[in-house]
Chains A and B, each alone.
Chain A
Amino acid sequence: MDHSAIEVRGLSVSYGSTPVLVDVDLTVPTGAGVCITGENGIGKSTLLRCITSLQRPDGGEIEVFGGPPGSTPEFWRAVATTVEPPTWYPGLTAREHAELVCRAHGLDPQDAGIDEALDRFGLASHADAIPPSLSSGQKQRLTLALALLRPSRLLILDEPEQRLDPEGRASVAAMLAAYLEDGGTVLIASHDDGFAAAAGTSVVGMADLHAP
């Protein structure tokens, strides 16, 4: 297949009379890592939400793996994202959430490396906690752990370094780099150029995406 992982052409979004995205173009080749940077309110999250079909744009075209993004199970089996705030099932521990995700994707929980993943994200001692009782940083790590545990072809993450301590940032960046090495595609929005470089992504300023 020769099409890109993500192809955005002429995307426009406005909130009321305030335009946020005007004629935005973006291409992410399959297997590439792209990090979008820019100040708050410039429309990074809006762009990611449009690409993951969680927000309908006012105009323009979006293609993910050659087709329109949608709510089909095929799309969501290929794309893992942390753009939306997560929800947790009541009465299920952090580890059980991870096992649920692995099992739903046909992975054997023993082979999927759940305990290793929780350990790498510093959650090993919180495996039996219910996610709502975790701190915001721990919840962020659990969300990333789930997104990285399950199989996917494209990761779309909104500020994955947020609420992580320096050690956590380095470890998440290393995992994203490994994901890219395995042939996956990564699109993130971030304020941290160092994190983007460590994750092996090329930095693109949001302002540069607007058509001249």
Chain B
Amino acid sequence: MTERTDVGAVRRWVRRTRSAHRERGETLGNFYFAVLFVLIVGGMLHRQLAVVFWPDAPNASVLAAYSLATAITGGLYLMLRRLGPLALSRPAASWLLTAPVSRRRLLLPSLWLATAAAAAAGALGAFAIAGHAAARPVPAEVGALLPAGGALLGGALMLTALGAQGERRWSSWADDAAYVLLAAGLAGLVADSALAAPRAPAGWPATSVVAGAAVALTVVVLAFFLLAVRGLARTPNDRILEASRTAGTLADSAFGVEPSFVTEMVERRYWARRRLRSARLPARLPVLVAQDLLMVRRRPRRLVWLAGGAALPSLLAHAPGWVLAVAVLVGGMVAGGVTTASVRTDAGNPWMLRMLGLSSRTAILHRLVVPGVLAALWYAAALILLAALGDLPSGPWWALGLVLGPVGAVAAVRKARTGFVDNSLLPLDTPMGSIATGPLLAAFAGVDVLILGLPTIVQLAQGGALSWTGVLVQAGVAGFGARAYLSGTTATDRVELSDR
């Protein structure tokens, strides 16, 4: 039997050996720059931060406050589940997880980190909700207790997510419940903006009630925390390894400024979990359209989210018209992106395209069909809803939505074709420092094509009634743009999507 080694000693040794390679004072320098960065950004953005977290006067209704709390709860839980919440760094996962060390002591720092992060997120959320909804003046003790309650709730969510990480049976139930909470919260926000719900009453619950609830919650969270520490060693290895890979991919993505790593990981994991049965591709349709349709059929949940998402632009009903228009246009791009993973595959390695022997023009033309239909339906739904809620002047908005389809499709396909970020481009020198152009261009690939929706942006910015001429102009611009995109970026005598 191998003797157990003290994990603390191992970690101290690793730290000492690594720091021996570093220059003297490097850690101190990093700390100094981090503090300086926070101070400078805080100084620059403190007004905007105040508007987000603590505006001068409360501006949200009771419904909005509860909806926001529900949505944040669901969202925070899902984020914790995606990240682990218990994760080790990749080197620790490879070397220490398999070593004869105490698993509890190995995982305890990760547990503390996850708890602290979740509690901070919960406190920040509660602070913002209180800032938007609480009548002024806010009593000091309540103002302090609410974020504390939020922090406790964040801790409770972390502990639930930790339980779900080790347990397959109810974890999917809990995930579904969190999705429902998120959706219900967003729906509440939409309803709030549509109904103009009443503002929060000026009164406050008695401090003793809030304090009592906080104390009760503290006891529960503490008890579960101790239980979690006790059972920490039983967390299955595969879950910890999966979470470590997620953390590693996120780090790679951040350091390399390469968001496609994360997209790829999410896509790979989704399909690895699914159990599929081979289906026959519909015979009458072109083969790639048939494939895309099959993909749509296999992602029913995403379609439900898209359908629900059509209500989200109404949250911006009171924003300037052009902001609303851009938000609607971006939404269609997201809707068109349901099936573009195959375009991403072809852009990365055209092996399958060579096997299929189709020209890039035929391939992209066919790949635009399903995204076009999805985007058209989404645009129509979003605009019909906005019109029904009275946020738009009169006019055939459904028709404008339908003719916008090609814009969303081209944007989604262009985004998928971008491939890796080109980090060899020259940086832009600005008075605020240099900006890397590669990630910037990659971030705007796809979004730039939304300029084809300019007639819609102008229409919404001006706020006049929509005429059929307006619809025709948008149809013309969208059709012409899609055609120009096709003939400009593909060829009939080339299989690969990009010119070699």
**Chain A residues near B (Cβ < 8 Å):** 71-73, 76-77, 80-81, 84-97, 99-101, 103-105, 109, 127-128, 130, 132-133, 146-147, 150
Contact = CB atoms under 8 A, between A and B. Distances in A.
A96 B495 contact: no
B66 to A, nearest CB: 37
A93 to B, nearest CB: 5
Contacts of A76: 354-355, 357, 495
B357 A88 contact: no
Given A91-B271, A133-B272, A71 B496 contact: yes
Contact of B355 (A72, A80, A109, A133): A80
A104 B291 CA distance: 11
Interface string B365-387: 00000000000000000000000
Contacts of B278: 93-96, 99, 127-128
A132 B420 CA distance: 21
B341 interface: yes
A90 B358 contact: no
Interface stretch (B36-44, B279-287, B437-445): B279-287
B228 interface: no
A133 B496 CA distance: 26
Contact of A101 (B275, B341, B355): B355
Given A90-B267, A91-B271, A132-B268, A71 B495 contact: yes
A93 B354 CA distance: 19
Interface string B486-500: 000000111110001
Contacts of B277: 93, 128
Given A96-B278, A127-B278, A89 B294 contact: no
Interface in B247-306: 267-268, 271-272, 274-281, 287-288, 290-291, 294-295, 298-299
* Contact-size category for B: 35 or more
B356 interface: yes
Contacts of B271: 90-91, 130, 132
A76 B341 CA distance: 23
Contacts, number: 109
B352 interface: yes
A85 B351 CA distance: 8
B357 A104 contact: yes
Contacts of B348: 87
Q: Which of B267, B290, B354, B357 has the most chain A CB within a 10 Å cutoff?
A: B357
B359 interface: yes
B260 to A, nearest CB: 13
A103 B355 contact: no
Given A71-B494, A76-B357, 19 more contacts: A71-B495, A71-B500, A72-B495, A73-B362, A85-B349, A87-B349, A87-B351, A89-B342, A90-B268, A93-B277, A99-B278, A99-B280, A100-B281, A100-B287, A104-B356, A128-B275, A130-B274, A132-B271, A146-B355
B345 interface: yes
B280 A101 contact: no
Given A71-B500, A73-B357, A104-B356, A109 B495 contact: no
A96 B279 contact: yes
B493 A90 contact: no
Contacts of B345: 87-90
A130 B272 CA distance: 8
B1 to A, nearest CB: 35
B351 A105 contact: no
9 contacts: A73-B357, A87-B348, A95-B278, A96-B281, A104-B288, A104-B357, A128-B278, A130-B276, A150-B357
